[in-house]
Amino acid sequence: MNETLVTVVGNVATQPDFRETANGAAVSRFRLAATVRRWDKGRQEWADAYTSFYTVWAWRTLASNVVASVTLGEPLMVRGKLRITSQEREGKHWLSADIDAVSVGHDLARGTSVFRRVSQARPLPAEPVEVVEVVEEGARVAEPAVTAPF
């Protein structure tokens, strides 16, 4: 495989949107703005140079998590496969840079974040299983036997 993996640090430039493809796969898309900063010797301070914009695509579970976690203006780190496309519209030549995201996260160098694990749904058995605790005669039992669906 000759894919180019990149890590881009920037700010969310558009609110992530969510949709499902015809085959039911979840997909999310947003724009990420990455601005280069340079030291200005004359003014003795950091100054913004140019800004590059990337369209970030997230698929399946990552798509759902992006929509639930990311909002406009937040600082992010995006890792994924870079894809540069060329097209012509209305007689003008356009280049676009897309990233098929592998991972997306908040840039903790610029703020804090709280992580919540998304639980994977486990299929329930056809019939409940009875959980029974075996104890010695006369011993104290903290909890009664429970019928649990796992």
| Integer CA distances (angstroms), 46 to 12, 40, 41, 51, in order | 21, 6, 9, 15
58-78 pLDDT tens trace: 999 999 999 999 999 999 999
102-144 pLDDT tens trace: 999 999 999 999 888 887 655 555 555 555 455 555 554 444 4
d(CA 133, CA 144): 8
Q: Where does the pLDDT of residue 2 fall: very low under 50, low under 70, confident under 90, or very high at 90 and above? A: confident
**Is 17 in contact with 28 (CB distance < 8 Å)?**
yes
Task: Report pTM.
Answer: 0.73
Q: What pLDDT, on a 0 to 100 scale, did the predictor assign at position 24?
A: 92
